[in-house]
Structure 1
């Protein structure tokens, strides 16, 4: 089946379109009266419009209704749809409503309903011999509807993008100020974002997406797309309340503390992970605003502990990393613990066996399969570890000692490498 539209560009008559023995534009020419009826309909019969302030209905909406009625009347008189330049007022109104957070669906429904009412007025007096003119009027109205819909949608989305960029810039400016220890009410007013009494300070680690490692794909483009997806989901999940300083590798979030409990939960992090397409790791420290700089350092230190300790991606708080964090405080006892495993330096296979054994919850069968050795070999190596270090992995105390010693050693080496 094929569909065709009327060709309105060729041999367009000079005379105005007539329906029912008079120009089709006549019912629309009293724009004040018709606009008043339409706006009244919007206010009483269209649920989205009932939530708009009265002054907005009487002002902006009424003004745009009159303007569109004039465009439609002119269109019927000229038998041609207004060009893009004539829709400037429509685009300006859409941009203004975008800034005022009027839903796009509400705007489009109002335009569609208004044009439907206008078309009903134009065709109300149609007669049997007006079929050809009705076809022309229908096609003109559909083209006008398309032109207005495109103009409104484009202008609205463009303005939303601009607003989002402005908010992101303001968010980054305020986040930088708080992270540097500057709590300025003047800056907050300038940014249009209030400063909270306390924040969840979040350190994020964002690994590479598979596309970033694909030689057929521009890695920088893939990384930016990953970050944009994450930022979009952050705005949705956290209701645009978080102050963000992010790169494609990670960064810092400042989320105002809510009376309802933690805002960044494991479920929210799972949603962010799904949006980014990579397993995100986050560490959280809750703090008063005056302590944001110190807490940010602490959150990123916890994030490094997750990495050094070989933890799985996920959400971590201080309670989850208390032992590791305490070990990083240093002191003679920690240094002594870190040297317990030195006798194994010449035996890499013993280190590998110890890590695998602890990682597999002391299951010798799983450890043997992971290391591609016989279970008896695992037993032999565990005995050698006990001989060389006095750590007996057959006992609960030996298991605890080995886990802490491994962690202390890894942390010590991590600090040494950074120095």
Structure 2
């Protein structure tokens, strides 16, 4: 009885598959010779394999090719695709090549080309009476390609995940050490990562994604997905050079600065790329630092980030030059405390505070201020006069406007700087 893979009515026979009057496995029996010829073909004709080291072709690739030829021969003899336990060598090779950085496409193309050559050897002596056997052989070979492809891909990706996790753990360990002032070459060697002479120390605030506020969505899952997208883009933008300690709310980045002018630094453009990936607007403050000043720079960066928050600044990248006045006002001293009390007489008049903010925010446009507050322009004028009477700040003069802006900033910092992030 002949058996075709397309015939599902009965079980497979015990006899080996025969093509051209001989067992289909016969052309594959001399695995050493066939494997040597295959690997030679890979090295000269298969473009991705030409980039592999010679010792890898003669060693690992040749060994695995012999193993796969043996599996194919057994498959034709048993008329059954190898089970999972017979693919351990394929699995181990994929894991090893993944760790060595051999592209997955190179591995799969080599497997597929090898199996194509093997199928050609098996069917090369087929005659007109071998149609049923050819159907069986083709079906078995397609199943073998599918099984090997899935095994290789699963093992390769699993190892990539492990490598990425190891790198992330090492990066977090090194970042923690630098932020605590314990950076050293010995620690860098242990972590397998270099230490730069200087860094951009970045404090990052990550707001909630809209999905985190959706009652129909698990907020924790949405937050973790947001963070994973951001971490993935960080690895892409900074070529895995950035050291990150992040939560779903924000954290600290250390971007190495070196002699390489092509190395990516944190700029508004790179922050925009990160924000696009995270799907939320990001706010960051950046302080350049030598390796020994990283802990102090991190404290300063997060202090600046708090000033951005207190001052209701728009999302974006800020440096000390952007926040010099605010930062100086937080240094304390008699002058700062005096400025912060100038607006105390307005504490009992919330509408006057609101009017001052709107007036300054609209670039002293009384009509726009009125529309924003839903009042008549004459009401704005009255309130501005009341502010002048209570505080001695004349908002009709440039000196008074500057004084009001600084006093309002000092007042906000004095009231809100202690508010938790």
Preserved CA contact (<8 Å) 2:202 2:254: yes
Preserved CA contact (<8 Å) 2:287 2:319: yes
- The residue aligned with 2:316 is 314
Q: CA deviation at 1:110?
A: 1.3
Distance 1:66 1:328, change over 3 A: same
The runs of 5 or more residues in structure 1 that have no matched partner are none
State yes or no: 1:111 paired with 2:111. yes
Preserved CA contact (<8 Å) 2:5 2:136: no
Preserved CA contact (<8 Å) 2:286 2:301: yes
Q: How far apart, CA to CA, are the structure 2 residues paired with 1:332 and 1:250?
A: 34
- The residue aligned with 2:120 is 120
Distance 1:21 1:396, change over 3 A: farther
TM-score, normalised by the number of residues in structure 2: 0.93
Distance 1:308 1:250, change over 3 A: same
State yes or no: 1:131 paired with 2:131. yes
1:180-207 CA-partner distances (Å, limit 9, x unpaired): 1112322211111111111111111111
Q: Superposition pairs for residues 8-407 of structure 1, below 5 Å?
A: 10-259=10-259, 260=261, 263-407=265-409
Secondary structure of the 1:129 match is coil
Q: How far apart, CA to CA, are the structure 2 residues paired with 1:83 and 1:59?
A: 25
Q: CA deviation at 1:122?
A: 1.6
Preserved CA contact (<8 Å) 1:8 1:79: no
RMSD of equivalent CA atoms: 1.9
Q: How far apart, CA to CA, are the structure 1 residues paired with 2:67 and 2:299?
A: 57
Secondary structure of the 1:165 match is helix
Q: CA deviation at 1:8?
A: 6.7
Q: How far apart, CA to CA, are the structure 2 residues paired with 1:354 and 1:119?
A: 83
Q: How far apart, CA to CA, are the structure 2 residues paired with 1:416 and 1:11?
A: 77
Preserved CA contact (<8 Å) 1:31 1:66: yes
Preserved CA contact (<8 Å) 1:245 1:251: yes
Per mean C-alpha deviation after superposition, the further-off stretch among 212-221 and 110-119 is 212-221
Preserved CA contact (<8 Å) 2:201 2:255: yes
The runs of 5 or more residues in structure 2 that have no matched partner are none
Distance 1:9 1:64, change over 3 A: farther
Secondary structure of the 1:15 match is coil
Distance 1:82 1:357, change over 3 A: same
